[in-house]
A = this chain, B = another copy of it.
Amino acid sequence: MSASGSSTSSPGLVTLDWGTSSQRAWLLDDGGRPVDVRRADRGLLSITRDLDGADPAELASAYEQVFWTTCGDWLEEHPGLPTLACGMVGSRQGWREAGYRTVPASLELSAEDLTTVEHRAGVAHLVPGLRVPTVTGGAPGDVMRGEETQVVGILDALRDRERSRTLVLPGTHTKWVSVRDRKVMTFTTSTSGELYGLVLQHGILGRTARPGVPDEEAFRRGVSAGSPPATRGALVELFGARVLVLEGRLEPSSVPDYVSGVLIADEVAHLLPTVADPGHVVVCGAGDLCRRYAAVLSAVGVDADVVTEDATVRGLWKIAVSTGLASAGREGRTT
């Protein structure tokens, strides 16, 4: 019996995108197509919260239990199915530390790149993160964990894969990733998404902000305030939202859009000049955020492509194939 109900495919892989606050799991068929999908608030924080100071074995046991809660029935029904997971599950506070590959790093992973961890019915394979090493006496380096799998998926989805590109992945920690010859050459993280949440949820601006409909004009005003040459920097321009509300020039419900504009404009102003190929920018993520980034980039003459597909599951499948966990023979979803 096939879980998909289809007579032409059979289950081929259990995959997980297991992050800080949530966990997503897919049962893929032997062509990489999702047969079943689950989403749960079973991220690292929910697991480590009560295990501060626990020994590694105790922590691993807690992860194994959570893994089994999500995926156990798939593995009971299909014994021996390989499992591949990416994200913070491979961090120091995760199930097992999966290390980092150092840039420049190929997007074609091999079997020895993966870290394995045992569970009650076999092993799970963990995808390593990527790192830019710190230069002693120079700039701090960078790290990512989970986004490297998203990058593999995005590259697979794009035509002209050999082209040198800058991928922008908006999120809590937005990643600007430089890709060339199917390698990640370098990348930079911005905390703009996290600061947006902090300012509005816990900050003084959040006290007067009110929920409301999206206000494109407020976003554009924020972008203008956060953009060179007139900007006085995000730290100053954020306060502008408060002044404009006091003056009756900005609705309290439009404060989030203004703040979003200031932060994205500040980030683009700093990072666009640092990328190797500003002429080929691809923004990948949730639709609304992608549109905001594309608008800010357009204002400085960059015509970015937008990919709103959730590319992580596609990346997990590609990694499973390149590492030999799955076979490419029946692949049906890639171009």
Contact = CB atoms under 8 A, between A and B. Distances in A.
Interface in A117-161: 133-134, 138-143
B202 A232 contact: no
Interface string A271-306: 100100000000000000000000000000000000
Contacts of A141: 243, 247
Contacts of A241: 140
Interface string A302-314: 0000000000000
B198 A140 contact: no
B202 A235 contact: no
A198 B202 contact: yes
A192 interface: yes
B190 A235 contact: yes
A191 B259 CA distance: 13
B143 A246 contact: yes
Task: Specify how many copies of this chain sit in the oligomer.
Answer: 2
A263 interface: yes
Chain A interface residue bracket vs B: 35 or more
Nearest to A249: B134
Contacts of A240: 139-140
A104 interface: no
B232 A270 contact: yes
Candidate in A201, A233, A240 with the most chain B CB atoms within 10 angstroms: A233
A175 to B, nearest CB: 10
B202 A267 contact: no
8 contacts: A139-B240, A140-B244, A190-B233, A191-B239, A194-B203, A198-B202, A235-B263, A236-B270
Interface of A: 20, 92, 133-134, 138-143, 172-173, 188-192, 194-195, 198-199, 201-204, 225, 230, 232-244, 246-247, 249, 263, 266-267, 269-271, 274
Closest 5 CB pairs of A and B: A140-B240, A233-B270, A198-B198, A189-B239, A202-B202
